[in-house]
Amino acid sequence: MAYGESIKLCRVYEKTSKNGNTYMAGRLAGAKIAILKSRDVADDGGAIWDVMLTQAQIREANGHAPELRNQAEQQGIAETSRPLLDDAIPF
């Protein structure tokens, strides 16, 4: 099967669960991705993988979750001097 020009959508990382099961994990914009092996099997006997998405916590450019830093932020006034990784326009 021939495919046309392609682009990388996201990157996932191979992990091993505490039970020894292999899975993939990563991020796509504002979502966390987990790719889990299904208990179902394809007609040809091949493995089936399920792609699961959950909303990801917003992270700052330094990789940490944003915290309330002062009274103004607690009152709903957001500080805009630092770009967020999930920010579509980084300025």
Nearest Cα residue to 51 out of 81, 10, 19: 10
d(CA 51, CA 49): 7
* 10-40 per-position pLDDT tens digit: 999 999 999 999 999 999 988 999 999 999 9
The ranges assigned to domains in the chain are: 12-58+67-74
* 28-77 per-position pLDDT tens digit: 988 999 999 999 999 999 999 999 999 987 766 666 556 545 544 556 55
